[in-house]
Amino acid sequence: MTQHKPEISAESTLTDRYQTTIPAMVRKALGLTKGDKLEFLLDENGGIRLSRQKPEEPEHVDPVLAGFLDLLAKDIEENPQNLREIDDSFWIGIDKLTEGVEVDLDEKLEFEPGENDDWLYPDIQR
């Protein structure tokens, strides 16, 4: 088996807690940022290949949301005079509407599409 000269060579020290810092030139070459997941692949000769794992795809991507958020950002930038503070009476009304309602923010919402909305939810299998 032939040995190939590495494109980048860098050194890092393993700490007492088995942690290491990935050298800046390697981070840059792999396009790594904070929070990225890494994959270590060990070959039969003891060599290691390090790669950045691709982020998981979200369950459902709203095709309209990004455009709507861009529209809002543009409107805020072009018309900052239209921004208004929400006064206390709004929050008092919200508190009255939700009084006694308990919500588990980690609970998955149940969803049953209607008969005529296949066009709206194409990724849901029936």
The boundaries of the domain holding residue 23 are 9-54
User: Identity (one letter) of the amino acid at 41?
Assistant: L
- Domain membership of residue 44 (yes or no) is yes
Q: Tokens 């208004």 correspond to what residue? A: 84
Residues 6+ apart with CB under 8 A from 12: 20, 21, 22, 23
Mean predicted confidence (pLDDT) in 9-32: 89
- Domain membership of residue 36 (yes or no) is yes
Q: Are 44 and 66 in contact (CB under 8 A)?
A: no
The separation between the first and the last C-alpha atoms of the chain, rounded to the nearest angstrom, is 53
Q: Tokens 């921004």 correspond to what residue? A: 83
- Domain membership of residue 16 (yes or no) is yes
- Residues 44-95: pLDDT tens digits? 888 888 888 887 776 777 889 989 999 999 999 999 999 999 999 999 999 9
Give the pTM: 0.38
> In angstroms, rounded to a whole number, what is the distance separating the alpha carbons of residues 64 and 60?
12
Please state the separation of Cα 115 from the chain's center in Å.
32
Q: What CATH number is given to the structural domain containing 13?
A: 2.10.260.10
How many folded domains does the chain comprise? 1
pLDDT score, position 4:
62
pLDDT score, position 2:
57
